[in-house]
Amino acid sequence: MSGVRVLVGTKKGAFILTSGGKREKWEINGPHFAGWEIYHMKGSPADPNRLYASQTSGWFGQLIQRSNDGGKTWEPVDNRFVYDGVPGTHQWYDGTPHPWEFKRVWHLEPSLDDPDTVYAGVEDAAMFRTKDGGKSWTELSGLRKHGSGPHWQPGAGGMCLHSIIIDPKNPERIFIAISAAGAFRTDDGGKSWKPINKGLYSKYIPDPTAEVGHCVHHVAMHPSRPGVLFMQKHWDVMRSDNAGDSWQKISGNLPTDFGFVIDVHAHEPETIYVVPIKSDSEHFPLDGKLRVYRSRKGGNEWEELSKGLPERNCYVNVLRDAMAVDRLDNCGVYFGTTGGQVYASADAGDTWTAITRDLPGVLSLEVQTLS
């Protein structure tokens, strides 16, 4: 029997939400790691019971937890994230040089075919990899050292590497994004990288079309079309049809094109979802009304989805890694809010219900479709 497991990272622990294929009744398990910030949890596509979690704290630093039984039990694995060589400096908010310092892991991306191989996107921005299930981590330093690193600068949330997308047809090709440096691509498994930001326009940097410096909030891809990428930038929703070599704006009729999340329907590669946020200075929905917007045409033409979502007095945010889809038919769409609500749609966004309303603020959300 099919089912769904939703992995929710919050400001005060991890929660695992499970349901059968109808997605009507939910069981909520947690908090795991109570009191800790769980920046991200994700399961291995090759072994759904193998989960990894990024557990962090201002007091105690970074931990990585691993589960071999779908989140029932966990064990801490290696938490040494040491930059390769002398890390040097990047730009601080005011443009002055600032030492590169490890702060936390924002995103864990398991390999598509090996449960022991996982990529970690960290703050200050760098990518690490384990090949032994988390027993040791090694930096893929070609990214940080490719040349533009000293010019990278943090976004308001820190200089985080938050998006990691592995090309399912070519595992040597990986896309990543950094706030606020931009998007990058490797075609040789992480040895060398190049910025892929042509077409992005950002008014908040001295050269709005610079090669790096763009505050990319999230990037999404449909696995059947790895050359097509969708991006929610600080402002602007963007699309690339050539693996990031160039981007076009697809904000179209969105009421505001500021936001954090973006995702793609599991079975319709041209159907994409965003949650518009009022502005960079007011991180909540327009008019206090929480709405998802869906385009069935790969952008530009968007429809409002609000059935079941709060119609008034809603001033939450949806953070960059807090939306995901399941692979059931009809496709399920899920997102978590900074107010602790987790909303789900079992009909591709047409209607929404709250699975739970009172969790700590949601930092991340991932979905596993179980067979």
Partner 1 sequence: MIRVELPAHLRTLARVRKEVQLEIEGTVTLRSVLDALEARYPMLRGTIRDHVTRERRPFLRFFACELDLSHESPDALLPEAVAKGEEPLLIVGAIAGG
Residues that bind partner 1 (CB under 8 A): 34-36, 57-63, 76, 79-80, 82
Nearer to partner 1, 75 or 188 (CB): 75
State the nearest-atom distance from the C-beta of 15 to partner 1, in Å.
Answer: 17
Structure tokens at 197: 């930001």
Distance of CA 359 to the CA centre of its chain: 19
Nearer to partner 1, 62 or 240 (CB): 62
Nearer to partner 1, 33 or 184 (CB): 33
State the nearest-atom distance from the C-beta of 55 to partner 1, in Å.
Answer: 9
DSSP letter at 180?
A: T
Structure tokens at 173: 């090709």
Q: Answer yes or no: are the C-beta atoms of 140 and 84 closer than 8 Å.
A: no
State the nearest-atom distance from the C-beta of 38 to partner 1, in Å.
Answer: 13
Q: Answer yes or no: are the C-beta atoms of 158 and 103 closer than 8 Å.
A: yes
Nearer to partner 1, 58 or 206 (CB): 58
State the nearest-atom distance from the C-beta of 82 to partner 1, in Å.
Answer: 6
Long-range contacts for 292-295 (Cβ within 8 Å, ≥24 apart)? 292/333, 292/335, 292/345, 292/349, 292/352, 293/254, 294/348, 294/349, 295/250, 295/252, 295/270, 295/271
State the nearest-atom distance from the C-beta of 80 to partner 1, in Å.
Answer: 5
Structure tokens at 27: 């069981």
| 62, 124, 180 from 103: Cα distances, Å | 8, 6, 16
Nearer to partner 1, 59 or 203 (CB): 59
